[in-house]
Structure 1
């Protein structure tokens, strides 16, 4: 089992990027694919895309992120890749409906983004658990809800 106790840097850093690019041509780059909600974890075990068992144990001052380089040497690299997120797109009928759906999203502590007049809610558990909470707004036609698998433009 590979034990990782620190982050080397970001794959987007010019120096690291060039080294990783060269290793990629040699098929020597492996990825640890994580859902976004796991990025805040500091201690866990997992497996890479290539099947390597790893144990992560980071200090409190380090946090995983998309592109975090965990291993980089002459023969291989290990980089964190974040899974595409699913989103619930909520399109309010008017300003009043927008205020109501915004109130519910805030009160329920949903992680959100805005896309024009739409409210995008990150789907981190069963999708129905979100729509069930605002069912009255949907039934009254105040808001339209649509799930976007790995969507909402990143």
Structure 2
């Protein structure tokens, strides 16, 4: 369990931009999705999108905000996000289409999970931004959108 005490800053602060950008390219950003019921609490325990068990504690005068930077080291950062992780479920038509979709997802540095024959994209931006990148595969019927939440 990783103990996180206090808020370091905001993920969009200029002071952290360069380091967070570099971490993002190395896959070192973890997101801690905080359900609405826990958003006002000063102590809670949650797991990041990468599986890190975190015990969070805040001082009485601190309020958790969306985008709060909770942990920052040379190899990773943990950022709080309010609400549930939004996902987009895609299913390739055949093995060749799966390779194309996998190449796109990897080349675009998408965060993904796999469930059976589905690729689950963890959304960090509006769905249309992701959809535009694989629109030719969707239009050709090589990839089918199952749903998004």
Query: The TM-score by the shorter chain falls in which range?
Result: 0.5 to 0.7
Equivalent residue number for residue 20 of structure 2: 20
- By how many angstroms is 1:69 displaced? 0.3
Equivalent residue number for residue 38 of structure 1: 38
Structure-to-structure mapping, 1:105-144, within 5 angstroms: none
**Which digits, 9 at most, give the CA deviation of each residue in 1:93-136, with x for residues without a partner?**
xxxxxxxxxxxxxxxxxxxxxxxxxxxxxxxxxxxxxxxxxxxx
Equivalent residue number for residue 69 of structure 2: 69
Say if 2:38 and 2:44, in contact at 8 Å, map to a contact too: no
* Distance in 2, Cα, partners of 1:35 & 1:17: 26
Equivalent residue number for residue 49 of structure 2: 49
- By how many angstroms is 1:21 displaced? 1.2
- TM-score, length-scaled by structure 2: 0.54
- TM-score, length-scaled by structure 1: 0.52
Helix, strand or coil at the partner of 1:71: strand
* Distance in 1, Cα, partners of 2:54 & 2:16: 21
* Distance in 2, Cα, partners of 1:39 & 1:76: 23
- By how many angstroms is 1:79 displaced? 0.3
Runs (4+) off by over 3 Å: none
CA RMSD of the aligned region, Å?
A: 1.8
* Distance in 2, Cα, partners of 1:69 & 1:41: 16
Helix, strand or coil at the partner of 1:49: coil
**Which digits, 9 at most, give the CA deviation of each residue in 1:125-153, with x for residues without a partner?**
xxxxxxxxxxxxxxxxxxxxxxxxx8xxx
When Rg is computed on C-alpha atoms for both structures, the one with the higher figure is: 1
- By how many angstroms is 1:82 displaced? 1.4
Aligned pairs, number:
86
* Distance in 2, Cα, partners of 1:61 & 1:18: 28
* Distance in 2, Cα, partners of 1:39 & 1:16: 23
Structure 2 spans left out of the alignment, 5+ residues: 85-148
- By how many angstroms is 1:35 displaced? 2.2
Structure 1 spans left out of the alignment, 5+ residues: 85-149
